[in-house]
Amino acid sequence: MKDMASYNPRVLFVYFFAVVFIPMFCQNPIIISLSLLGGVVSCVFSRSLRGIRPHLYFALLFTVSAIINPLFYHNGVTVLFFINNNPITLEALFYGLTASGMIVAVIYWFRLFTFYFTGDKLLYLLGFVSPKISLVISMAIRFVPLFVNQAKKINNSQKALGLYKEDNAVDTVRGKVRIFSALTSWGLENGIITADSMASRGYGITKRSFYSRYVLDKRDFFLLVLSVLLFGFTLSAVLAGALDFNFYPEILPPKTIPLSAAAYLSYFLLVALPVLFEAGERIKWKYLVSKI
């Protein structure tokens, strides 16, 4: 079943750039809310985040980030209450909510980006610029899950040997130090083995080339054109000031004009593309299965 992961890496990069660029440089609560909503729904729909725990961590990050701003910045004319003679203003609280929403939304979209972009896609994307840099980046990304899995194995083996019988802080710290030492030795050994394997295969002798199995088809062109059009229209509204939102000294939302409403709809369609495409593929798959 084809979904967003089956699209050309260059097209996916353009799409994710368009989705993330707008909320990072447009402090509009509606735009950021759409970005956050789209990121959450896309991660849940694509199963890139399994379980409720990652979402709880992101919710905690959102709450802490939103609280920090009104506690340290007291700009604004609408005072809600006082803490130690420091005013907590509605404007500072609203700005904190908007800024924290932007941070969490970008994290969700980058999580979705790492879910779709595997090592071979990074090689394809960066190979034309610098094959060596793309190889180093893909290898570094590959080592992250390897280190996590190896750390779990070492920890489980230590538990099986009875090294955590005494449940105290000192024993726990010693165990973590042993895990780190063993993991460092394993990483160095694995790096040496990888380097010897690459040298035995003739890496570095001549100019490096790479194989790519990705081609641009009609689906890729459709997503590329659609992403560019929606991004361009939303960006033009941002540059025209139709999405300007002032927080200080008082909250002044942009005037409700057709351009603003059209920009909101355009960006909503942009962030909803992964869910729409995935839903369409699932409906098509169920329809074909029902015909068997």
For residue range 249-270, what is the model confidence (pLDDT) as tens digits? Answer: 777 777 778 888 899 999 999 9
Question: How much is the pLDDT for 227?
Answer: 92
Mean pLDDT of the chain: 81
Question: How much is the pLDDT for 164?
Answer: 62
Question: How much is the pLDDT for 291?
Answer: 77
Cis status, amide bond into 23, omega within 30 of 0: no
Place of tokens 């932007």: 102
- For the stretch 235-272, what's the b/e string if a residue is b when 16 or more beta carbons lie within 10 angstroms of its beta carbon? bebbeeebbbbebeeebeebeeeebbeebbebbbbbbb
Determine what percent of the chain is predicted with pLDDT higher than 70.
89
Cis status, amide bond into 249, omega within 30 of 0: yes
DSSP characters for 58-75?
HHHHHHHHHHHHHHH---
For residue range 55-110, what is the model confidence (pLDDT) as tens digits? Answer: 888 888 888 888 888 888 777 778 878 887 778 888 888 888 888 999 999 999 98
Q: Which two tokens stand for residue 7?
A: 């699209």
Query: In the structure, what pLDDT confidence band is assigned to residue 204 with cuts at 50, 70 and 90?
Result: low
Question: How much is the pLDDT for 129?
Answer: 64
Q: What is the dihedral of CA 67, 68, 74, 76, to 10 degrees?
A: -50
Amino acid at residue number 216: L
* Environment class of 66 (CB within 10 Å of its CB; exposed 0-12, middle 13-18, buried 19+): buried
Taking residues 21-38, what's their average pLDDT? Answer: 89
Pairwise CA distance, residues 100 & 113, whole Å: 20
Amino acid at residue number 154: I
